[in-house]
Amino acid sequence: MLYYSGPVARLVDEFAKLPGIGAKTAQRLAFHILNSPPEAAQSLAKALVEVRQSIKRCSCCCNLTDEELCPICRDTTRNGKLLCIVEEPRDVIAMEKARGFRGYYHVLHGAISPMDGIGPENLTLKELLKRLQSDEIEEVILAANSDVEGETTALYLARLIKPLGIKVTRIAHGIPVGSDLEYADAMTLNKALEGRGEFG
Amino acid sequence: MKLYKLDAIILKSRDMREADKILTIYSIQRGKQRVVAHGAAKPTSRKRGAVQPFCYSSLMMHQGRELDSISQAELKEGFADLRVDLDRLTAAAYLAELTDNFVGEGEANQELFALLLSTLYLLAAGDVEMTLRAFEARLLLLAGLQPELNSCNHCGVPFKETKVWFGSEQGALLCQGCAAQEKKVAAFSRGTLEVMKTLYRFELTKLQQLKVSELLRKELNLLLRAYLEFHLEKRLKTIEFLDRLNKNRAQEGTNI
Ligand SMILES: [Zn+2]
Ligand SMILES: [Zn+2]
């Protein structure tokens, strides 16, 4: 049982709203703050407020940034013919870390999930269509996740974009590097086979 | 430590914490059930491929305190053709949402399981629209809610006119006279009722042979939807996206 009053209870409640944080962890975090010097709490509060005030969506790719245009969209050395569409900002980070892609991105901020009532209107499709009409984009690479929502999103986007005369491709799904074939499940194995490329 | 085996269709998958998923499944042994798939979001998970929505899989279950968990999963049928087509994939989502909302937990029903499984096979290859209609009609039947299609639900007189009326209050069909005394009614043609009767008569695998005009398909969709929404007391979320896809197809070439 939790018996805290006023501010402590409120802080625990706020922490418990965060993803992956249960009641116990929320309590631990709250007491950590209470046991730290006042400056620590000040600086955390300031960081929270600032991030919310200064971070917005890039006016071009919809990724999160504190400027009008994000650093990637400002980079003129990238290949403007390639546009990679991802679900979340963290997917851009993953792609950039892998360093294999030198085109531009578009962040959807979600995936279509009809069962949850999340439709195309909840994604950044208006911004995407505007880019496709004005930019010199020749190929759109659909890098939505390979779960049902990601596939639904990719199929919907393909249907939307193909009539514009732009090449649409989907990233291949297959066997993780370094893993044994025998451990792969049937669905992954078949996907890997479908997405095979010429070799040697 | 209690273990048991299930032959199940995965209806829904939700993120839990970390890499765990909560699944809603429908098995031949136990009907609808919510279970945990630990680590199913990890790339190295061996069960991941078999616990995706709309998979038919053999599951080794481990009894838990609140929810039972999947200790092993083997894919029996992944319905790959379903996953490469937007209309088929969305229809499967609708099928799953409808089943999830229509049946309670822990009521095994072998007939419903068989219906679900054969509907998934048909959705992967057959006429998507008529397959969904047949599923809806049979779902009502299996739930003991088969609609009366031959006579007025209020006065009992057999239908004679070319039109019948669905009363939203009664959740049933009415004759012209009885419908005139109701506020919320929608008209349907007798032809639509005949198609619906055929859905009950025909084997699912023969649905392909059924030739139904665009108009009757539309009416049939609305009539079955009226019945289902009367019993569900709400509209399913997938319907909005499903309708949007149908509308786009009708006006081929226009986007969004
Ligand atoms: Zn940008
Ligand atoms: Zn009557």
Of A20-34, A98-112, A147-161, B135-149, the range with the lowest mean pLDDT is A20-34
Q: Which of B78, B111, B126 is the last residue of a domain?
A: B78
Task: Give every CB contact of residue B74 below 8 A, 6+ residues apart in sequence.
Answer: B50, B57, B58, B59
Q: Give the span between the Cα atoms of A117 and A125, in whole angstroms.
A: 16
Write out pLDDT tens, residues B128-155: 999 999 999 999 999 999 999 999 999 9
The better pLDDT of the pair B178, B49 is held by B178
C-alpha–C-alpha distance, residues A166 and A132, integer Å: 8
Phi, psi torsion values for A54, nearest 5 degrees:
-95, -25
Q: Are residues B154 and B98 in the same domain?
A: yes
Q: How many domains does chain B have?
A: 2
Which residues span the domain enclosing B115? 83-255
Mean pLDDT of A111-140: 94
Q: Is the pLDDT of residue A6 over 90?
A: no
Same domain membership, residue B137 and residue B87: yes
Mean pLDDT across B152-165: 94
Q: Are residues B127 and B231 in the same domain?
A: yes
Alpha helices by DSSP H, chain B:
86-102, 110-125, 128-142, 176-179, 190-201, 214-232, 238-250
Residue of A nearest to B86 (CA): A155
Q: How far is residue B241's CA from residue B99's CA, in Å, rounded to a whole number?
A: 17
Is the pLDDT at B254 greater than 50? The verdict is no
Residues B61 and B111 in one domain: no
Under a CB-based contact definition with an 8 Å cutoff, are residues B122 and B207 in contact? yes
Residues whose CB falls within 8 Å of the CB of residue B79, separated by 6 or more in sequence, listed in order: B54, B55, B56, B92, B120, B121, B123, B124
- Complete domains list, chain A, with CATH: 6-54 (1.10.8.420), 78-173 (3.40.1360.10)
Give the residue-averaged pLDDT of B46-64: 93
The CATH number that applies at residue B20 is 2.40.50.140
- In Å, how far from its chain's centre is CA B209? 21
Q: A112 pLDDT exceeds 60?
A: yes
Could you report the predicted ipTM of this complex, rounded to two decimals? 0.90
B152 alpha carbon – ligand 2 mean position (Å): 5
Q: Who among B18, B53, B253 is closest to A148 (CB)? A: B53
Question: B111 with B236, same domain?
Answer: yes
Does residue B188 have a pLDDT over 70?
A: yes
Residue A119 has pLDDT above 70, yes or no: yes
Mean pLDDT score across all residues of chain A: 91
Across the interface, whether the CB atoms of B75 and A120 are under 8 A apart is answered: no
Task: Please identify which residue in the block is written with the tokens 């006579």.
Answer: B151
**What is the CATH classification number for the domain harbouring B126?**
1.20.1440.120
Asked if A119's CB is within 8 angstroms of B240's CB, the reply is: yes
Residues B190 and B92 in one domain: yes
8 Å CB contact of A120 and B253: no
Interface with B, mutate which of A25, A187, A191 (most B CBs under 10 A) = A187
Q: How far is the CA of B158 from the centre of ligand 2 (A)?
A: 8
More confident residue, B251 or B186: B186
Closest C-alpha to A117, from B236, B86, B25: B236
Q: What average pLDDT does this structure show over B56-82?
A: 94
Q: How far is B47 from chain A (nearest CA, A)?
A: 7
The ligand whose atoms approach the alpha carbon of A62 most closely is 1
Is the pLDDT score of B256 beyond 70?
no
Residues B12, B53 contacting (CB under 8 angstroms): yes
Nearest ligand atom owner, CA of B172: 2
Residue B90 pLDDT exceeds 60: yes
Pair (B227, B151) in one structural domain: yes
What pLDDT shows up at residue A22?
82
Domain boundary among B78, B109, B125: B78
Nearest by Cα to A108 from A120, A99, A97, A100: A120
- Looking at CA atoms only, how far is residue A40 from chain B in angstroms? 28
**B231 plus B152 within the same structural domain:** yes
Percent of chain A with pLDDT over 70: 98
State whether B105 and B12 are in the same domain: no
Among the candidates B22, B57, B78, a domain finishes at B78
CB contact under 8 A, A148 and B240: no
- Give buried/exposed letters for A68-95 (b at 16+ CB in 10 A, else e): eebebbeeeeeeeebbbbbbbbebbeeb
In a shared domain, residues B169 and B244 = yes
In the numeric block, which tokens belong to residue B52? 């995706």
User: What residues contact B110, with CB distance under 8 A and at least 6 apart?
Assistant: B28
Question: What value does the mean pLDDT of chain B take?
Answer: 92
Shared domain for B131 and B214, answered yes or no, is yes
User: Alpha-carbon distance B179 to B144, whole Å?
Assistant: 25
Q: Do B93 and B66 sit in the same domain of this protein?
A: no
- Report d(CA A150, CA A20) in Å as an integer: 22
